[in-house]
Amino acid sequence: MVRKWGFVVRAVGGLSVGRIRGIMHVGTEKTRQNVTPQYEGKSMSVGEGLENIEINATPEDLDEDGFVSLWNIASTTVEGDQEKTRALASAFLGFLCKKECDFVVVSTSGAEYLDQWFEKDNKILYAWKPDSEMVDVVAQHAEVPFIAFKSFMENQKFKSTANYSPRRIDRVEWFENKWNVG
């Protein structure tokens, strides 16, 4: 195991560390939204407009091994609506953290980017409300195997309208010990 920004490099779902490295993207070239959008008007409340959703991803967003960013899953699920994408990505992050999901993967360059951001501003870990731009940054770098993700969300009874707000210490623990770098 190798530690980088507290992340542990280890196998994911039976994949070896070398295999994880081989499947990761450099940076965020596959994310639809690489810049943080500015929203006008009122901010969304938790779960607003997210009733009766079905978690989806497009084949174009999946890499050859079935990995996709949380941001792209959220965007596809809400048909590209930026406010709803952020709100759903916020719920994904909070839920996955509370459930201690251990198959989130970040590229080496993504981990370095998040590490540098955290050194400047620790809100990257602490500000995951639906109106926070920090959600965009984290969700664009967090990748999951889509089929396992969808199954996990169903089995753990994810509700898109619920407020999942993990404690700060739990967020740090999740990043340091559950995320995988490759």
pLDDT at 45: 58
In this structure, is residue 69 part of a structural domain? yes
DSSP state of 36: P
Tally of domains in the chain: 1
| Burial of 29 (C-beta count, 10 Å sphere; 0-12/13-18/19+) | exposed
Question: How many Å separate Cα 23 from the centre of its chain?
Answer: 17
Long-range contacts of 120-129 (CB under 8 A, 24+ apart): 125/168, 125/171, 125/172, 125/175, 126/168, 126/171, 128/90, 128/93, 128/94, 128/165, 128/171, 129/46, 129/90
In this structure, is residue 61 part of a structural domain? yes
Mean pLDDT of 146-174: 96
Q: How many CB atoms lie under 10 A from the CB of residue 124?
A: 23
Mean pLDDT of 23-45: 42
In this structure, is residue 78 part of a structural domain? yes
In this structure, is residue 123 part of a structural domain? yes
Report CA Rg, the chain: 15
151 Cβ contact partners less than 8 Å away, ≥ 6 residues apart? none
In this structure, is residue 129 part of a structural domain? yes
Domain that holds residue 149: 4-8+18-25+53-181
Mind listing the pLDDT tens digit for each residue in 13-25?
A: 433 333 333 333 3
In this structure, is residue 115 part of a structural domain? yes
pLDDT at 13: 42
What is the reported pTM? Answer: 0.77
In this structure, is residue 128 part of a structural domain? yes
Mind listing the pLDDT tens digit for each residue in 123-144?
A: 999 999 999 999 999 999 999 9
In this structure, is residue 40 part of a structural domain? no
CA angle 38, 168, 94 (to 5 degrees): 60
